[in-house]
Structure 1
């Protein structure tokens, strides 16, 4: 390349970089306030202005003595105390030193880039009580201001949500990405999604995992005059079209109930996980014991499951024996595991019975060296498998082959050792 051409290329590069710098230096064009601003302020919403525009805020303070359903909000500090005890450890544990916020949104739809968050509900915790900050999108053109004012871009927060990992947080990430030219990056935050926890605790106990059902059946709270969540988008769009916020305030009430219930749900879940609350079904306590086992805390898991086997009748304790057997096996307590599988079998569904029979055969073969008993349980497994209508043909054939292979091996061992 000639010297002249190099100079021309450098000039072009300088021109490009300077135009980029000018683009960066271009001040943000703040949108004008909506015509209904005064009306919304008169309704109790506070106008907040920042460098990107404006946002409406409704702020409510709750003392620690506030009762929501069967719980005081201040019981959260007892939950912190429970988690501080050496014996209590779990992924949902929190401390009073965490920058904790309970978070819930309302959006203009369910999916897609065109879906906007129009309400950011943030419940903060302090020594004196709780501060509920509900940020309302003034209108779509003020979205940058709305997102910035949430302060969710600040690091080291711990979020507690209900289905937030699948819905609220991904929606927020999408909106921040669309405004990345103006907004700080949205960091990854620690996130406790209580929908996941509720499914683990109340599987096969609650028919649905809607927050409103958990409120009524587990938290002692029933909403009166609540607006269904699916109406929220229509109500918001109508409010910015008409300028009348009256019905929109009921959406804020709906969001408020969600957030207060997140606090009491967390309290209740903590009490159950830390064994400080006993008034639950055998199914729920079994689920908790299994959860600890899945986290490899077999000592805690076994202790919880033993409560079920000691306090409930055989029919109710069947699945507790089943999960206890696996945890005892993990602890190399093979005789105890064997007995637990035996206790469980009569009360299990066919799919779990099949697994239990094979586990009994394994312990007989490898630990007890009782090949005749092991063969007996493989035949039991074979008959159970034969009766299973739900299993598809290929999976069934594969299982039959596995059992047949085990039987051949056991017969060889039996002929060698005479047992």
Structure 2
């Protein structure tokens, strides 16, 4: 049996199975939607049914994409469920809504319905094929003088009956083969992204990442300006004033001038320390030299609140990904220490299937954290998105605050 014939038999089997499964699936989906719409006024219970129906759209789309890719050896990229980039309470309903507005999901759902119709036709044609074969065999071995054809109730002789049976079997088999050809021709056009669509999506993704990188850079610039303005700049101004006072007293009161010089020296060392801390916050040297584990260990040791660090990484990621993850953890710990009144924080980082690096930062503070434009959390979200990752924030009133970050670890 040639590969083409084996694939045709497999397609026919899929079509027959889908001819049975698709009507049941559509009926269940329609029933769930009807129950949801009818239950909207019953204390909002219908919302759960509508959410389940929306999620079912994703599950059906995922199943159809994987089925077609395996069956027809098509290059259909594996996808994850579309998720909302929001970090407030709207994130969950927005994620649900995205399932029914995602074009890829809807295209896969349309393919599922079309192939289901082909499957129902295939079931009828298979019935014709097997009925014709059975009638031809029965007409050959039976000893009757007349034979009643299974179609149209015709009464014929043996030879005519065998011919009708063989004709029915051939017509049915050819029809099934035509259904497999239809499946082969429809699936690539609906399921495989076109080159134009792929390039458009890449351009949109690149534009979005560029905008998010610009916003992250703006937030970082504002933070650096604030740290310089509030910390280092006043200290350096004070050093200059102290040295000026020391110079004026150098001839008249050498002892006072020496004390002022010592004070300026102490302030200068403190300013240097603040500048080093500022540089470390931008990109610590240990991150480039020894990797994310060592950099986060040093960060946890300097934290104002106890940090339980659990890092399970093998090998290194790209410098951009490591920097984005370090920044996300550092800013999260800073926010926990400054705003959440947390007594401790737990940081877990590990690799996940698919080549991603995942982090979860959770504190036991008072909660209520929000992503505000220009704020620290907004800077983290933008920087993570610019690196091609996902960011989520859960912070109900009363706590705890949980931040999850996932980044593609392109090492």
The verdict on a shared fold, with TM-score over 0.5 as the criterion, is: no
Larger Rg: 2
More helix as a share of residues: 2
The TM-score bracket by the shorter chain reads: under 0.3
TM-score by length of 1: 0.19
TM-score by length of 2: 0.19
